[in-house]
Amino acid sequence: MGNNGFAAIRRQYDFRSIGIGNWVTPEEQRRAAPRFASALEDLKAILGGPEALISLRGSLSLEYGIGGQRGVSAHYTPAKRSLSLAKNAGPGSIAHEWFHALDHYLAAHTFRNAPPDCFASAAWLKELPPVEHPLNSLLFQCFRVILVSEDGQEPSALFQASAVMDRTLGTHYYSRPEEMGARAFEAFVQDAPVDSPFLVRGTRQSEEALVPDSTRRSHRGARSTRPSTLTSPGWAMPCFGNRTTPPPELDSLAVGPVTSRRDPYRHQAIHPDEEIRTNGTHPLR
């Protein structure tokens, strides 16, 4: 299948480009392309939306085997709007990284004056001026369920566990709103009646409580709506209801500078000017 397989994926979903690392062999490409295709089809089915949803209206690029390092599985680069999977460690990370892409895409559509590299989840927590729209209100309720307790008076259990992990490791990563949102989305995807290990894996085996607990995972709003309205005017990702202001503790602990993310554990940002090649050629067209 080789490049033709990835080219078919690009045409089906209208990705802006697909780049393949120089060190990915033709045989590895032939094996990987059907797995990508199956995972993306599963994601589309779970979300109940069209192909344009998966490529975020043609704004998203895919990369495979580019910029990988030992211990790095995948990353999303806001400056390039690219979702990248390492050749050997990337499988199972697509759902997590795709949500980062969605979260980034939504920021400009749901908040006024959002910085170019801002995520909607971080903008919500920073209380940037929102764009008033019923669908946006549903998106904001998603963030509330993930980040704030049910009574709105304290951080969620997910945030508290994430903050403990950050303090233990001496870093500020797990408690970032965009990371908690991505892990919650992973849980949402893995709870769907679809077995897709190339798309997502591991959320049910987490020992650090770094994914939503069973109560939050079964929240009635979490599975009652679908983000299929990406292709409709006004756009947002429908989820739940209305927001209450997050408590100061959550706001001060979870939000750091909103810049291009560097994840020391499973992501590695690549330089915005790095040339993307496909076996020595330019990205697939």
Residue 147: predicted pLDDT = 94
Quick one: 118 and 248 in the same domain? yes
pLDDT of residue 66: 87
Rounded CA separation 191/175 (Å): 22
- Domain end, chosen from 67, 91, 115, is at 91
Instruction: Tell whether the model's pLDDT for residue 137 goes beyond 90.
Output: yes
CB atoms within 10 A of CB 135: 21
Give the model's pLDDT for residue 205.
55
Residue 279 lies in a domain: no
Q: Is residue 280 part of a domain?
A: no
Asked if residue 274 is part of any domain, the answer here is no
Q: Residue 22: pLDDT above 60? A: yes
Q: Which domain holds residue 217?
A: 98-254
Q: 88 pLDDT exceeds 80?
A: no
AA letter at 22: N
Q: Number of C-alpha atoms within 13 angstroms, CB side, residue 79?
A: 11
From residue 117, how far is each of 140, 215, 259 by CA, in Å? 19, 32, 6
| 148-168 pLDDT, tens digit each | 998 888 999 999 999 999 999
Whether 174 shows a pLDDT value over 50: the answer reads yes
- Domains identified in the chain, total number: 2
Within a domain: residue 264?
no
Q: What is the pLDDT of residues 237-257, one digit of tens each?
A: 334 222 334 334 343 333 333
pLDDT: which is higher, 145 or 284: 145
Asked if residue 129 and residue 78 are part of one domain, the reply reads no
SS (H, E, C) 140-181: HHHHHHHHECCCCCCECHHHHHHHHHHHHHCCCCCCCHHHHH
- 262 in a domain, yes or no? no
Q: What is the pLDDT of residue 69?
A: 58
Helix 94-110 and helix 26-47: axis angle, to 10°? 50
Residue found by looking up tokens 């299929």 in the block: 228
Closest CA to 98 of 79, 130, 121, 76: 76
| pLDDT given at position 55 | 98
Q: Which of 91, 112, 137 is the last residue of a domain?
A: 91
Whether residue 81 is contained in a domain is answered as yes
Of 73, 91, 109, the residue at which a domain comes to its end is 91
Sign, CA dihedral 29-34-40-42, equals negative
- The answer on pLDDT for 185 being more than 90 is yes
Assess if residue 273 is contained within a domain.
no
- Average pLDDT for 262-270: 28
Q: Residue 254 class from Cβ within 10 Å (0-12 exposed, 13-18 middle, 19+ buried)?
A: buried
Same domain, 112 and 217: yes
Tell me how many degrees the CA angle 146-94-269 measures, rounded to the nearest 5: 90
Mean pLDDT of 126-139: 95
pLDDT at 224 over 50: no
Mean pLDDT of the chain: 76
